[in-house]
Structure 1
Amino acid sequence: MAHTVVAQTLPSGVPTGLAGLEEVALRTLGFFVGAILIYTVGRLLVVPTVAGLVRSRNRNNPTIETATETYVHVLVVVAAAVAGVIGAGYGGALTDASIVIAAISLVVGAASQNVIGSLVSGLFLIADPDFNVGDWIAWSGGEGTVESVDFRVTRVRTINNETVTVPNTELTTNALTRPYGRERYRITEQLDVAYADDAELALMTLVETAREDDRVLDDPPPNARIVAFGGTALTIQAEYWVSDPMDVNLVEVRSDFRRRVKRRFDEEGLTLGPASTHELSGDLSVDVAERVDAE
């Protein structure tokens, strides 16, 4: 006796039984085929093409190039998701304004205020012509070379070759220092010498010591100056430049300079970091009280 399988339908309109499983499988297959197809085309064709066009028009602005790749990639992901929905047979839901508004409201409500602020800050950083990938920047939390600007954070490579992810809001709400340019980095060293020492000799010694290092650039040349008159010592400062901070070990350069300065100052008889001395004057008197024991 033959058996007939009848697909039942739930009150919600969702089919059950073998026919229902077949329909779910077809819709799932349609989603993945549509999404993978659009994503592949976008990732292999659209993103490189748009990035190449932006690169050809903005050769001196790598920030725009990296940001374009990031944002276009996100658009490709969104387009792939939409294509998957259409491939699954739910394209009509996308035309329902109430559903779209509800989905957007859900996304915005789920996102925190900090995330939205970081996203907006990232857009401002990308649009800023004075903030670019490859620049050396210094802020209240550190310093380093900008590697990329993403939606939420900016990645910075530090002196120690460590990657730091800095929230975009921190870079847009705090002061940034970028005095070094892209191809060189200025190193500043301050030290104290005694007032009794020859200040001109100390300044000249600092300049000569900096020039002894092959990693120090000749243009601009090293220089030294007096920056402050302290209570017990004279504060002088040496400035010299090296190439791209990512090409040299700044920690090693600083350490080698300080070692040579210490040796040269000892040879020249200059007092490095003199101890604080204060002269006290006055009288000191002591009264001795006699104690008489009562008998």
Structure 2
Amino acid sequence: MVGQLPEWMTGFLLAYDRILSELFWFLVGFLVVYLVGQFVLVPVAVRVVRSRNRNNPTIESATETYLQVFLIGFATVTGIIAAGYGFVFSESAVIIAAITFGLGIAGQQVFGSLISGLFLVTDPDFNVGDWISWQGGEGTIEAVDFRVTRVRTPDNETISVPNTELTNNALTRPYGRDTYRVTEQVFLAYYEDTERALMELQQIAANFESVLDDPAPNARVIDLGENAITVQAELWIEDPGNSDIATLRSDFRRAVKRQFDEEGITLAPPAAQLLSGELTVTDRATASGSDE
């Protein structure tokens, strides 16, 4: 049947059959390697890493991510060899050089993010679940991926931060320890009893359930300013990742204002001078009638 076809159609069918055969063997080689790696090798490697790094979930997450990237690349190479194009990797030096050059130009940022991610993973103070703060924002680390680090913000939003941004800029880990200190400043008028105000601040902080007894809340004078005395309350909380810091600050400020009002402690006036006294208004006509 094929011999009765025109020569050009016969060549087309043979070429089409060859392409399908090469595609079939490529898929076979790719899928065998990928499925075995995805369902056997990667889970085993992740379990080994987890057993040896129980207190560092970052390494576990990164190991799974990088193994999957390597697995896809290795499965692709295996598929190319299975399809009969293995000679490309040994004889086509010009093609390999061109591909390498193209990847070097187009993938410079990707490779930079990968290297940055490796540095973040090996940093013992950078772990999944830690709260970090950088120039662009703050939040809790959820995962360190191939190119970006996923961070959950205080607004419960997940953002993807390029790894290079975290390694090239200053990174703060305010909640990286067991406890965290919350500080709140209050401005007092100069004529108020500073010692009484400090005692009230300590008592207010001690009444909050989330505030630790050890270290105990403290209050101190920070500055003798031009128009006010600056005092600061210092209170400690634990596991700040599970606490709403913004709500705690708001509740503390409300309690300070309410308590100071009840105790008659005056906060610093908003202006440089505080006017006091009284003004009496007299009706001139009434005053003239009373004189007569």
* Structures share fold, TM-score greater than 0.5: yes
| Letter matched to residue 211 of structure 1 | A
C-alpha distance in structure 2 between counterparts of 1:212 and 1:7, whole Å: 94
Does structure 2 retain, via aligned residues, the 8 Å contact 1:138–1:176?
yes
For 1:44, the equivalent position in structure 2 comes to 39
How big is each residue's C-alpha offset from its partner over 1:246-292, in whole Å with a ceiling of 9 and x where there is no partner?
3222222222111111101111112224223249xxxxxxxxxxxxx
Kept in 2, the 8 Å contact 1:47–1:72? The answer is yes
Structure 2 residue aligned with 1:147: 142
Report the TM-score when normalising by structure 1.
0.83
Residues 33 and 8 from structure 1, CA distance in 2 versus in 1: closer, same or farther, beyond 3 angstroms? Answer: same
**Kept in 1: contact 2:131–2:241 (CA 8 A):** no
Conserved? CA contact 2:133–2:171, under 8 Å: yes
The reply on whether 1:125 has 2:157 as its aligned counterpart is no
In structure 1, distance between residues paired with 2:235 and 2:136:
24
Matched residue, 1:282: none
Indicate how the Cα distance of structure 1 residues 26 and 240 shifts in structure 2: closer, same or farther if over 3 A, else same: same
Question: Secondary structure of 1:91's partner?
Answer: coil
The separation in 1 between residues aligned to 2:154 and 2:268, in whole angstroms, is 27
Deviation of 1:71 after TM superposition, in Å, equals 0.8
Structure 2 unaligned spans of 5+: 275-292
Q: Say which of 15, 18, 22 aligns to 1:20.
A: 15
TM-score (norm 2): 0.83
Q: CA RMSD in A?
A: 2.6
Name the one with the larger helix percent: 2
- Alpha-carbon distance change, 209 to 155 in structure 1, aligned in 2, over 3 angstroms: same
Secondary structure class of the residue paired with 2:216 = coil
Partner of 1:202: 197
Distance of aligned partners of 1:221 and 1:159 in 2 relative to their CA distance in 1, 3 Å threshold: farther
- In structure 2, what residue type is equivalent to 1:248? S
Note closer, same or farther for the CA distance 1:184–1:4 as it changes in structure 2 (3 Å cut): farther
Alignment counterpart, residue 215 of structure 1, candidates 189, 204, 210: 210
Which secondary structure state, in structure 2, belongs to the residue aligned with residue 95 of structure 1? helix
Determine the C-alpha separation between the residues in 1 that align with 2:268 and 2:137.
Answer: 27
Unaligned segments of structure 1, at least 5 residues? 10-14, 280-295
Deviation at 1:7, TM superposition (A): 5.9
Give yes or no for contact 1:207–1:222 (8 Å, CA) kept in 2.
Answer: yes
CA change 1:2–1:194 in 2 (3 A) is closer
The alignment partner of 1:242 has SS state of: strand
1:200 Cα offset (Å): 2.0
Contact 1:225/1:236, CA 8 A, preserved across alignment: yes
Q: How many residues align structurally?
A: 274
Aligned AA (1:106): G
* 1:72-87 matches, cutoff 5 A: 72-87=67-82
- Structure 1 pair 277–44 and aligned structure 2 pair: CA distance change class (3 A): same
Identity, % of aligned positions: 52
